[in-house]
Structure 1
């Protein structure tokens, strides 16, 4: 009878070590960015107005966010964003784009987002939750003082009621100033 505590032959130990090394090589190494994103995602507590979707569950660096504002001018809309996080995260902010053409002072017609923490105010202590909450805030309080869509910003500054009508028209898939927008209403 062999004791569990009996010394193993050196060949057997070497074989176990080789098997462990082979298994470790098969497992993809996590980059610092992937580890940080994983941490950000596990700490994420989204309100019911936001959901994330991972087209490729094994790729945490590229995912989608859906925002459905339940108050404010954009209430009733469903807005989709893509997040692309590079390997320098958190030292560089994620790249965020809106996938729909919408009428908003802080989103241009190509889906680029004007949010200070995605540019000059980014700091590595910020996380994905900060960005997501910032995006939601843009739908509650559009900022005409830092616009990407200058016409929408000018409309908001000049005549808030007309701006609200333009938002409603655009969310139905209508045209504003000759530009047709995507229908985003639920």
Structure 2
């Protein structure tokens, strides 16, 4: 375990040195961190469902920041479109990517600020996991929301106590409307 911490620390130092542009004159060749190399491999091997797309708003030179769009084809969130931002650390895969939902959504596992409650982005992250796994995890949150591990406790309670009302609330939110005092922009 101590060896892993040393590896992480060394990777952080290398990433910091690379971002400072430490070097000795002449033509500069951009060095890629181990995290960038692994991420490039992960992206080249993506096997996404047809309802998920990935885009690079900063261009292909910035693989560490990208967006994923998920359009569930089943479940409560059928036909909605949900956008997520991914920020990947230079020490990836030793650290999980930071994922935020850009779409305001009525969901037990996504709060109104876009924070996502997905175990593999927290305590269950392991370096053997990859971006494909995270995207499938996010997709799964829309096909089977988890009321047992909520960020939005109100939505989770409604899902547990009254699934029909939960479905009505999801539809109201997705078509652009209020659920309680909160307005949700249209995402269908």
Q: Pick one of 7, 28, 39 that aligns with 1:37.
A: 39
Q: Which residue of 1 aligns with 2:90?
A: 87
Gaps of 5+ in 1: 1-20
Structure 1 position 26, deviation (Å): 2.6
C-alpha separation between the residues in 2 aligned to 1:182 and 1:110? 14
Could you tell me how far apart the structure 1 residues matched to 2:31 and 2:126 are? 26
Find the counterpart in structure 2 of residue 64 from structure 1.
Answer: 67
1:39 Cα deviation from its structure 2 partner: 0.5
Q: How does 1:44-123 map to 2 (within 5 A)?
A: 44-56=46-58, 57-123=60-126
Report the count of equivalent residues. Answer: 163
Shift of 1:44: 0.5
Partners of 1:183 and 1:112 in 2: CA distance: 19
CA distance in 2, matches of 1:101, 1:83: 16
Measure the CA separation in 2 of the matches of 1:164 and 1:155. 9
- Deviation track 1:72-120 (CA, whole Å, cap 9, x = no partner) reads 1100100000000011210110000000111000000000000000000
Query: Which residue of 162, 176, 179 corresponds with 1:159?
Result: 162
Rounded to whole Å, the distance in 2 between the matches of 1:95 and 1:174 is 29
Equivalents in 1 of 2:86, 2:113: separation in Å?
A: 15
Q: Secondary structure at the match of 2:149?
A: coil
Match of 1:146 in 2: 149
Match of 1:97, SS state, is: strand
TM-score normalised by the chain length of structure 2: 0.85
Alpha-carbon deviation of 1:64?
A: 0.3
1:170 corresponds to 2:173:
yes
Q: Structure 1: how far apart are the matches of 2:136 and 2:61?
A: 24
Q: Choose 1 or 2 for highest CA Rg.
A: 1
The residue number in structure 1 matching 2:127 is 124
Shift of 1:65: 0.2
In 2, distance between residues paired with 1:114 and 1:28? 35
Q: Could you tell me how far 1:45 is from its partner in structure 2?
A: 1.1
RMSD, aligned CA = 1.1
